[in-house]
Amino acid sequence: MPEITHRTIQTNGINMHVAEAGSGPLVVMCHGWPESWYSWRHQLTFLAENGFHAVAPDQRGYGQTDKPEDIDQYTQLHMVGDIVGLLDALGEQTAVIVGHDWGAPVAWNSALLRPDRFPAVVGMSVPYSPRGDIKPTDGLKMAFGDNFFYILYFQEPGVAEAELEADVTATIRKLYYSASGDAPRPDTPPAPRPMAGTKFMDGMLDPAELPAWLTEADLDFFAGEFRRSGFRGGLNWYRNLDRTWNLMGAWRGAKIQVPALFITGERDPVRGFASEAGIRQAVPKLTDLVLVDGAGHWVQQERPDEVNAALLKFLKGL
């Protein structure tokens, strides 16, 4: 099996830790929240075995990468700049960019803003949504009113940090399980909860034993990363929804114009964010939309074989 190596590069004013394996055409994989480069452990070695240079950074605010103090340093323009600088540091002109969860907007926006550097894109779990006319938090407030929604809960600095960091291992264990394909889903949507007094972890399920795709060693690694770094960096991504919206006005309604692939779990709670028709309209060069049977939100960890096969088919077809 190819060796995964680690180094720190300088990009866009920060030090970024990257894990990498293999040689050949570059594939950059961007993780989501609350994760790290380790989310791509199965893809790093697989792509290396199949002739690619696979690179997975700890993104800004995570793991061993720098965590700027100011909240306004976590817009999508910063994230795209980080990945462009990563290519420069690696001496590469182009890369296929892959992103899961919050990494998906980084991938989509990289392909949108710099198609010269990212001539193909793969999104997982979170579909591309063109910039609309309503400020994101205003839209969420209209949709949820006085009821709880986690993104609105995350807006106040310090609140979610205190909750999530009280028991980091329990936070990761419950969250990963609850959003996975292994967790039971209610037959009817849960009743709305009031914003006042409700916390993010309320209602999360604690498994009697870990699902097969998440070993104790995996859990220990993820928990160790957040025990060291805290959750603030990742939460600051959510706190820049409106700031990014303001900065992206010139791309209102813009579509992704490079070849693309979208992969999602059949049991992913995020599936309702956009219809298949909406995704295809916003990404006209979408080659395939892969629905992984039985998988939840952490699709590349839960079903690595299916995800790896879809990735390789897309990459070989470019």
**Hey, which residues are catalytic here?**
101, 297
Kind plus residue range of the DSSP H or E element containing 243: helix 241-247
Spell 77-111 as b/e; 16+ CB within 10 A means b: bbbbbbbbbbbebbeeeebbbbbbbbbbbbbbbbb
Which tokens in the block code for residue 177?
A: 């399980």
**Planar angle of CA 223, 226, 230, nearest 5 degrees:** 150
Q: What backbone torsions phi and psi does residue 117 show, to the nearest 5 degrees?
A: -100, -25
CA distances from 179 to 72, 79, 125, 301 (A): 29, 25, 11, 12
Contact 238, 193 (CB under 8 A): no
